[in-house]
Chains A and B, each alone.
Chain A
């Protein structure tokens, strides 16, 4: 098996999920200049709701795609309600407050949602039921071969479809043009007869709907759900949005996919890069350890979560506007 090719496949899979979640961050930022830190929690709730439905339907023996589809079909409206409520209750009253206030509120809401999930779904890990028969499709020549699973194919296709749908919505529909108009000049948008509050609500609702699907996909992929899963996932997707240029839809997609690739390749090679056995020439004593186990690496693939933050730090230091972002100016 070829590590590089295989990690590209894995990276594209998680990357497309990050991209969908990052779109939620970037849409909201684009329209109200707010980092909605509760978005990761919305994704978690999407995963939890989907799992609840999937676990309830698993014994019925229905085809797996119908069961998972039903889980998503329930999770999406549930998350839309959560997204709407969060904006209405927590952010709208602070629309004209200093930028820091809604940011702190967002972190607060994120904690509230996490603990609501804790109350509903308990602190235990929830396992995905064994309903999907994993199929692997191999490709490449025998010495550089890799495989892609049916779940990975489904995740990538669903993500691409959602991204295309969102771009169509934002660039081709009346609501989408109104969303862009509102983000550019909310006062003048109001003069056009656009109900700005409604457009902002729609943005949160659409972002939450995308997040719900992403949550269900990530749960299905890793086979596990937990009430704290949204935190790290959210931070990674946020980093991806910053990498691409926050507020820029294309940037979120690019940033998400790059983030997935960086993380997967990093996880695949971190062991090789931090292998300390080359030191045995200089430091006696290493030789024995390495003879016993040639894989004496300082870091293993469990350090994969570090990459998102390395990327975030590098972007903030060297290109704060992100890859596709134009200018940052005073936007915190």
Chain B
């Protein structure tokens, strides 16, 4: 059984069909990426999975239909989303943001241990732990958003455009951590516009065009696919 399975998922915004029937699976332990141009429906797909957008069709998480559930109920099943634009709580401190990531957990000692773990991944956050999140740079906020998502010990981590708007050195740092988390066995679904980076980090990939999956397969094969290369890798 796949950890996540989407079947004929459609999402409508007003009269517009942003996602037009997507099939997609994520197996346990995989890093799967979803690439495509602006407006292809990548973010909408993640919003549908996490209950932020109303979807029709089947979204199965561990065999259970989750389409139609509220986002806090879905979060409680072990899905965490690092939203587009990071979505940190600007007036909460780093510590408080991380505490909100662990909102569902009651095991204080393990939570404290995981805070240290996040700080070891992102030492910058530790230096600024008492500072409000809104005062940090975009890259630091992205680190916080990822750290916060990890605090829930997710069984499926969804990342929406983690490289967006960041300096190259920061993108490098973020992807280093993504690969590290993946190596630890955290299952991830990654949405990225930077197709090269995403494909290099992933096991499998889906290419989305105008709300439909057009190409899918092993990430390494897609990297060599002439169609993908010309459309998404700028060759």
Contacts from A to B (Cβ < 8 Å): 174, 177-178, 180-181, 184-185, 187-196
B17 within 8 A of A: no
B35-71 near A? 1/0 per residue, CB < 8 Å? 0000000000000001110000000000000000011
The minimal Cβ–Cβ distance linking B104 to chain A, given in whole angstroms, is 4
Q: By the criterion of a CB under 8 Å from any partner CB, how many residues of chain B are at the interface?
A: 24
Are the C-beta atoms of B103 and A191 separated by less than 8 Å? Answer: no
**Is there contact, CB below 8 Å, between B76 and A181?**
no
Which residues of chain A have C-beta atoms less than 8 A from B83's C-beta? 187-188, 191
Q: Shortest 9 CB-CB distances between A and B: which pairs?
A: A190-B71, A193-B75, A193-B104, A188-B87, A184-B89, A190-B72, A192-B103, A192-B100, A181-B89
Mark out the residues of chain B between 62 and 115 whose CB falls within 8 Å of any chain A CB in the assembled complex. Answer: 70-72, 75-76, 80-81, 83, 87, 89-92, 96, 99-101, 103-104
Report whether B72 and A194 are in contact in the complex, using a CB–CB cutoff of 8 Å.
yes
A178:B71 contact, CB within 8 angstroms = no
Contacting residue for B92 out of A184, A191, A196, CB 8 A: A184
Closest residue of A by beta carbon distance from B82: A191
Contact A185–B89 (Cβ < 8 Å): yes
A194 and B100 form a contact (CB under 8 A): yes
Q: Interface residues of B: mostly helix, strand, loop or mixed?
A: loop
Distance, CA A191 to CA B46, complexed state (A): 12
**A301 and B93 alpha carbons, distance in the complex (Å):** 47
Check A177 against B100 for contact (C-beta < 8 Å). Answer: yes
Q: Please tell me if the beta carbons of A184 and B100 are within 8 angstroms of each other in the complex.
A: no
Report the bound CA distance from A192 to B101 in whole Å: 6
Q: Does B152 contact A (CB under 8 A)?
A: yes
Query: Could you list 16 A-B pairs, sorted by A, with CB under 8 Å?
Result: A174-B99, A178-B100, A180-B96, A181-B92, A181-B100, A184-B89, A187-B87, A188-B89, A190-B71, A190-B72, A191-B50, A191-B71, A191-B72, A191-B75, A192-B148, A194-B100
- For the complex, give the distance between the alpha carbons of A254 and B8 in Å: 56
A178 interface neighbour in B50, B52, B103, Cβ under 8 Å: B103
Indicate if the CB atoms of B87 and A185 lie closer than 8 Å: yes
Known: A174-B99, A174-B103. A193 touches B89 (CB 8 A): no
Given A174-B99, A174-B103, A178-B100; A190-B75 close (CB under 8 Å): yes
CB contact between A192 and one of B52, B90, B152 (< 8 Å): that residue:
B152
Contacts of B92 in A (CB 8 A): 177, 180-181, 184
New contact pairs (11) apart from A187-B52, A190-B75, A196-B72, CB-CB < 8 Å: A177-B92, A184-B89, A188-B87, A188-B89, A190-B70, A191-B71, A191-B72, A191-B75, A192-B101, A193-B72, A193-B152
